[in-house]
Amino acid sequence: MIAEPVISIVNAVLFVLLAPLLGGLIAGIDRKVTARMQGRVGPPILQPFYDVGKLFEKENMVVTVTQHFYVLSYLVFMVVAGALFFSGGDMLLVIFAFTLSHIFLVLGAYASYSPYSHIGAERELIQIIAYEPMIIFTAVGMYMVTQSFNVSAIVNSGIPIILYLPGVFIGYLIVLTIKLRKSPFDLSTSHHAHQEIVKGVTTDFSGSNLGKIEIAHWYEYVFLLGVVYLFFGFNPVLAVAAIIIAYFLEILIDNTISRVKWQLTLRSAWLIAGTLGIVNLGVLYYLKGVIMP
Amino acid sequence: MTYLKKSPWVIHYDASSCNGCDIEVLAALTPVYDLERFGIINTGNPKHADIFLITGSVNEQNKEVVKNLYEQIPDPKVVVAIGICAASGGIFRECYNVLGGVDKVIPVDVFVPGCAARPESIIDGVVTALGILESKRLVMKENGKKTMEKSGSAE
Amino acid sequence: MNDLLFLIGFPVIIALLMLLVKDKIRNYIVIISALALGIASLYLLITYFNKNTVFFDIPFEPASKIMVVIEVLLAVYILYLGIKYKKYFTVALILLQAGLLLFLEIGLISDINPVKNLFIDQFSIIMALIIGIIGSLICVYALGYMETYHNRHSDIKDRRKLFFFIFFVFLSAMFGIVFSNNLMWVLFFWEITTICSFVLIGYSKTPEATNNAFLALSMNLLGGVAFIAALIYIAILDPSGKLFGLDALISSGYAIAIVPAVLICFAGITKAALMPFSSWLVGAMVAPTPVSALLHSSTMVKAGVYIIVRFAPVLALTTEGFIIAMVGAITFLLASGIAISQSNAKKVLAYSTIANLGLIVACAGVGTYNLMWVAILLIIFHAIAKSLLFLCVGTVENRTGSKNIEDMGGLIVRMPKIAMMMFIGMAGMFLAPFGMVISKWAAIEAFITAPYGLIFIAILAFGGSFTVFYWSKWMGKIISVMRHQEVIEDTVKKEKWAVLYILTALVVGVCLAFPLISTYLIEPFILNIYGVTTGLSQANFAIMIMMICLLLIMPLSMLFYRTGSKHVSPYMGGRTTEGEMKFSGTFGTMRELSLSNYYMEKYFGEDKVFYIGTLLCWGLLLIAGILLAGVIL
């Protein structure tokens, strides 16, 4: 048998190489489905790749050179977080690495002294603190079911995690809306037509920096949907189906519900985390003590 | 072949237009004409844009703004002046505050006539602009290569 | 043993010297003694790190008699001051405390003679290193800071001789606390630190400073009263005085030790400024910044959590321990929340300190072996990063005259090196892979196996996200690049730079070295007490080190990008900007732009949240008290 560390490294490398392709395709399918929902034809599925290709062809223009550093760090640590996840590492560490990379994006927006980036950065921070409790509860819930924080152990456990963590799963889906930057929670920046503070966090980035941010988003999609997979890990076919249905629901919600204010985002995300998340975990804790050894 | 042709992002600015041309521009983005199927996105941010769609003429108040926006668009970029006001000032040309068409402050690549310009003309203008954009990109690549060779041979 | 006596005694000698010399000679003496203390602490580490607990037989008398005399003298001094400033609550407390102390000394234990009075173990080494290295560095920093402070505030009387005298007395007392095995001696040094804090907070003698000094004094005296009550209980229980030894008390089991443990932990709670006693620490921020750095973030308040961590084996898995842990956890959550709504930099740092101390106490209160590991780790990382931040804020305040975060915009242009160091300090407080995040990670993994751990994890998840918010927005403020501003940091003195550089290096260095610290110091300590130990797995160590290396290399990317980028102004709706601070508005005017952070007063306003915290924590303490009463009866 191949040794465990080797499999981990192979998985990580595969992630680094293939995730952008998969993520870009997901983004492209997203735009196509959105267009169809709106009664339009929509761009070709490979459009996101054309977009990023074009961005790298543009002139190297910045507001301040520190933007290069922050965007590069954002991308690098996003890749690190995802690679850690797919190589089977510790889920909490993955979450912290993930937060780290987002902070760099926020700092990059703060670096240029523009009102749009600034408000975008504040809202992005609010989004981060809105979803963080819930994803920590997700990791904790998985531990309670499988007795391990390691992604490899969770995936290979064969336990139907979704049956034990239905509340956490729904909570995660709601928080996924925030992370995927879909309406109603696309406060800090959003795709294309949904402007409010111009482009929010990404206002003052251009050319290759913007391209790198887009690629980082692709890595992020793959990672986030990978977490959905974990809930259904015991049956890969079911898991993929769940991912497709979940993403379709996200697109549907995006197109039907309009953006809410940050206060509502924060409150509802925390309320959801508090109720669905903690109650589910609490019930599980109690049951484990009483029913299961 | 560049990617610019497949993914041109547009910034639309109303200089001092009566909004007639602006409505036609936005009509082009609706499901009837659906410009997004060509990868065209209306981004309101010059730093993300390739094509600068301007309607309306230039006056004292907005000439700085037009210049500022133009500078903030990264190369390669094209300017499409839509409507007769953007081309020459239109029926407002004799007004005391109107300086004239957009080409008084920034270089324009494509003029789209009409009052108001029809969506079909606008699309035609944008497609022409795409061709110009591509040739500009090739020139940029050449210049980039030339400066690299120059610095290489200087050493 | 000589090393210990040196560390306790030498600062006292230097302190007396400080009362005599001035300025230039003072500078030399402080720098030399700082070096001496640092080297002595390191020598301590090298000598004792691979031995387990070592006890030293020092005679109880005449040291104790001298201590009683000093304590009575100090009580008289405070009585006089309390009456002079009409602080009658303080007067009442000091009378109560003096009375109880005399009752204890004369009435109960006049003829005991315990022997094992000083000791050293790995935890003491860690604390000694913090006091010896970080404390000394702050003393050196204070030289330059106090000079500028008096230049700026010419209306405040120059009492620097007293200032440095108290500083060194304080260092001596801190060493005394961590090396004493005899609880009577711990009490003596404990009270000395209380007095030091009182004098230093009131240094500027403004009405506000005096009031806050007395507030701090009252709350700490309240803790002192609890401490003495614990000692009286011990004396009544065992008149031979054997139980005054920390080791003897802790190993005597729940039934005997729980009452003194809870009482002493109450003293620890007041000293560590947990809710409901946090107002004294926030008020103490009026003191000069070196005082805030030394006493109120890295050392004195650490004494409070130190004693609670010492008693953790007694509290582990008990209801009383759970209550104390809940006080800590609620403090963590609410103090982090309040920090979001504060724009005064020192207040943000104060609330952050209170929150982190709460977290340490939450870990210690639950007291399982892996949580102890986390608690000690938190102590180390917090002490270093927080002192760096306080000193940087002090430097910024000296140069710009403002402590407000909103005035720190664009600091990276005006004071690039300081801004970078603040960046590293803040990163050390909340960003992976630095220390505090390692601790948070380990805390979650530890709480999950502890009873009722879910409550703590929920609090940690929410409190942790508050933490991310207030640090990130401060960080964003200082790194925003507002060009066309002059650099103002060139006038900062050399010795301040030296201190700041060393502390920054420590923040990074301790992170990189923490596998070593864990293996050689923390794990053996925990093994001794619990019989099992823990640590991060090898793979995770490796990943953390990799991430730190990545983080350190990334700034090099800036060199790569330095040339070849075209600079434009930020997007301001097409308006032309002038130096990013002004933009052309209507009617041809130039208008100024100001951007400020979100403070969310409605959710996290200080008064409202503090009120909730006070209610909850007093409630919890009352329950603990009732339980204790049950045990006694």
The residues in C 597-616 lying below 8 A from A, measured between CB atoms, are 597-598
Mean predicted lDDT score pLDDT of chain C:
85
CATH of B4-154, one of 3.40.640.10, 3.40.50.11740, 3.40.50.2000, 3.40.50.12280: 3.40.50.12280
- Kindly determine whether residue A207 and residue B74, on different chains, have CB atoms separated by under 8 Å: yes
Residues of B in contact with A53 (CB under 8 A): 3, 6-7
Q: Which of B3, B44, B75 comes nearest A50 by C-beta?
A: B3
- Kindly determine whether residue C575 and residue B13, on different chains, have CB atoms separated by under 8 Å: no
What's the gap in Å between the CA of A56 and the closest CA on chain C? 14
Distance CA A139, CA C400 (A): 45
Find, in chain B, the residue whose alpha carbon is nearest to that of A196. Answer: B44
Residue C604 clears pLDDT 90, i.e. is over it: no
Distance CA A42, CA A23 (A): 18
Residues of A in contact with C573 (CB under 8 A): 198
Residue bearing tokens 């996101």: A48
**Do the beta carbons of residue C303 and residue C383 sit within 8 Å?**
no
Residue C540 clears pLDDT 90, i.e. is over it: no
C266-325 pLDDT tens trace: 999 999 999 888 889 998 888 889 998 888 888 889 999 999 999 988 888 888 889 999
Enclosing H/E stretch for B100? strand B98-100
Name the pLDDT band for C360 (thresholds 50, 70, 90): very high
Residue bearing tokens 């790298």: A56
Tell me, what's the pLDDT at C355?
Answer: 93
The DSSP string of C306-336 is: HHHHHTHHHHTTSHHHHHHHHHHHHHHHHHH
Cβ neighbors of C57 (< 8 A, separation 6 or more) are: C115, C116, C117
Task: Suggest the residue from A69, A77, A113, A138 to mutate for an interface test with chain C (most C CBs closer than 10 A).
Answer: A113
What's the gap in Å between the CA of A39 and the closest CA on chain C? 32
Residues of C in contact with B69 (CB under 8 A): 574
Residues of B in contact with C584 (CB under 8 A): 64
Tell me, what's the pLDDT at A290?
Answer: 54
- The arithmetic mean of pLDDT across residues C193-212, rounded, is 90
**Do the beta carbons of residue C394 and residue C148 sit within 8 Å?**
no
Scanning C535-605, the segments in alpha helix (DSSP H) are 538-553, 557-561, 601-604
Residue A289 clears pLDDT 80, i.e. is over it: no
What's the gap in Å between the CA of A49 and the closest CA on chain B? 9
Neighbors of chain B by Cβ distance (3+ pairs < 8 Å)? A, C
Residues in chain C: 633
Neighbors of chain A by Cβ distance (3+ pairs < 8 Å)? B, C
Preceding amide of B76 cis, omega within 30? yes
Name the pLDDT band for C599 (thresholds 50, 70, 90): confident
Residues of B in contact with C576 (CB under 8 A): 64-65, 67-68
Find, in chain B, the residue whose alpha carbon is nearest to that of C586. Answer: B61
- Kindly determine whether residue A112 and residue C564, on different chains, have CB atoms separated by under 8 Å: no
Residue B16 clears pLDDT 50, i.e. is over it: yes
Q: Which of C464, C476, C570 comes nearest A63 by C-beta?
A: C570
Neighbors of chain C by Cβ distance (3+ pairs < 8 Å)? A, B
Strands B9-14 and B51-55: parallel
Find, in chain A, the residue whose alpha carbon is nearest to that of B41. Answer: A192
C377-404 pLDDT tens trace: 889 999 999 999 999 998 888 888 888 8
Name the pLDDT band for B150 (thresholds 50, 70, 90): low
Q: What is the ipTM of this complex?
A: 0.91
Distance CA C366, CA C320 (A): 9
Q: Is A272 part of the contact surface with chain C (CB cutoff 8 Å)? A: no
What's the gap in Å between the CA of A41 and the closest CA on chain B? 6
Q: Is A76 part of the contact surface with chain C (CB cutoff 8 Å)? A: yes
Q: Which carries the bigger pLDDT value, residue A153 or residue C254?
A: A153
Query: Highest-confidence range of A177-181, C24-28, C230-234, C469-473, by mean pLDDT?
Result: C469-473
Q: At what angle do helices C254-271 and C319-340 cross, to 10 degrees?
A: 10
Q: How much is the pTM?
A: 0.91
Mean predicted lDDT score pLDDT of chain B:
87
Q: Is C587 part of the contact surface with chain B (CB cutoff 8 Å)? A: no
Q: Which carries the bigger pLDDT value, residue B109 or residue A156?
A: B109
- The arithmetic mean of pLDDT across residues C424-431, rounded, is 87
Q: Which of A41, A61, A202 comes nearest B37 by C-beta?
A: A41
Mean predicted lDDT score pLDDT of chain A:
87
Nearest C-alpha neighbor of A176 from the set A273, A57, A283, A292: A273
The residues in A 137-166 lying below 8 A from C, measured between CB atoms, are 137, 140, 143-144, 149
Residues in chain A: 293
Nearest C-alpha neighbor of A42 from the set A50, A32, A29: A32
Name the pLDDT band for B153 (thresholds 50, 70, 90): very low
Retrieve residue C352's tokens.
């952050």
Preceding amide of A166 cis, omega within 30? no
Task: Suggest the residue from A58, A77, A125 to mutate for an interface test with chain C (most C CBs closer than 10 A).
Answer: A125
- Kindly determine whether residue A68 and residue C561, on different chains, have CB atoms separated by under 8 Å: yes
Distance of CA C389 to the CA centre of its chain: 12
A207-233 pLDDT tens trace: 889 999 999 999 999 999 999 998 888
Amino acid at B26: L
Tell me, what's the pLDDT at C548?
Answer: 77
Q: Which of C566, C574, C584 comes nearest B69 by C-beta?
A: C574
Scanning C19-87, the segments in alpha helix (DSSP H) are 23-48, 63-84
Find, in chain A, the residue whose alpha carbon is nearest to that of B11. Answer: A198
What's the gap in Å between the CA of A235 and the closest CA on chain B? 37
Distance CA A214, CA A199 (A): 13
Task: Suggest the residue from A80, A110, A198 to mutate for an interface test with chain C (most C CBs closer than 10 A).
Answer: A110
Tell me, what's the pLDDT at C28?
Answer: 86
Q: Is C571 part of the contact surface with chain B (CB cutoff 8 Å)? A: yes
B105-121 pLDDT tens trace: 999 999 999 998 999 99
Residues of chain B that touch chain C, judged by Cβ-Cβ distance less than 8 Å: 13, 45-47, 64-69, 71-72, 74
A22-76 pLDDT tens trace: 999 999 999 999 889 888 888 999 999 999 999 998 888 888 888 888 999 899 9
Task: Suggest the residue from A129, A267, A272 to mutate for an interface test with chain C (most C CBs closer than 10 A).
Answer: A129
Task: Suggest the residue from B68, B69, B75 to mutate for an interface test with chain C (most C CBs closer than 10 A).
Answer: B68
Q: Is A43 part of the contact surface with chain B (CB cutoff 8 Å)? A: yes
Distance CA C95, CA C24 (A): 42
Q: Is C419 helix (H, G, I), strand (E, B) or coil?
A: helix
Residues of B in contact with C568 (CB under 8 A): 47, 71-72
- Kindly determine whether residue C432 and residue A76, on different chains, have CB atoms separated by under 8 Å: no
Residues in chain B: 155
Enclosing H/E stretch for C88? helix C88-102
Q: Is C588 part of the contact surface with chain B (CB cutoff 8 Å)? A: no
- Kindly determine whether residue C566 and residue B74, on different chains, have CB atoms separated by under 8 Å: yes
Distance CA C505, CA C482 (A): 27
Whole-angstrom Cα Rg for chain A? 19
Q: Is A185 part of the contact surface with chain B (CB cutoff 8 Å)? A: no
**Do the beta carbons of residue B11 and residue B54 sit within 8 Å?**
no
Q: Is A41 part of the contact surface with chain B (CB cutoff 8 Å)? A: yes
Q: Is A288 part of the contact surface with chain B (CB cutoff 8 Å)? A: no
- Domain limits, chain B: 4-154
**Percentage with pLDDT > 70 across chain B:** 94
What's the gap in Å between the CA of B9 and the closest CA on chain C? 17
Distance CA B82, CA B8 (A): 17
Neighbours of C161 (CB within 10 A): 15
Tell me, what's the pLDDT at C528?
Answer: 79
Neighbours of A150 (CB within 10 A): 18
Buried/exposed code over B132-155 (b: 16+ C-beta within 10 A; e: otherwise): bbbebbeebeeeeeeeeeeeeeee
Tell me, what's the pLDDT at B151?
Answer: 53
Q: Going edge to edge, which strands form the sheet with C577-578?
A: C577-578, C582-584, C590-592
Tell me, what's the pLDDT at C27?
Answer: 85
- Kindly determine whether residue C571 and residue B46, on different chains, have CB atoms separated by under 8 Å: yes
Q: Which of B66, B67, B71 comes nearest C568 by C-beta?
A: B71
Cβ neighbors of A242 (< 8 A, separation 6 or more) are: A162, A228, A229, A231, A232
Name the pLDDT band for B155 (thresholds 50, 70, 90): very low
- Kindly determine whether residue C454 and residue A281, on different chains, have CB atoms separated by under 8 Å: yes
Distance CA C429, CA C507 (A): 10
- Kindly determine whether residue B46 and residue C569, on different chains, have CB atoms separated by under 8 Å: no
C125-180 pLDDT tens trace: 899 999 999 999 999 999 888 888 888 888 888 888 889 999 999 999 999 999 88
Residues of B in contact with A204 (CB under 8 A): 47
Q: Which carries the bigger pLDDT value, residue C57 or residue C372?
A: C372
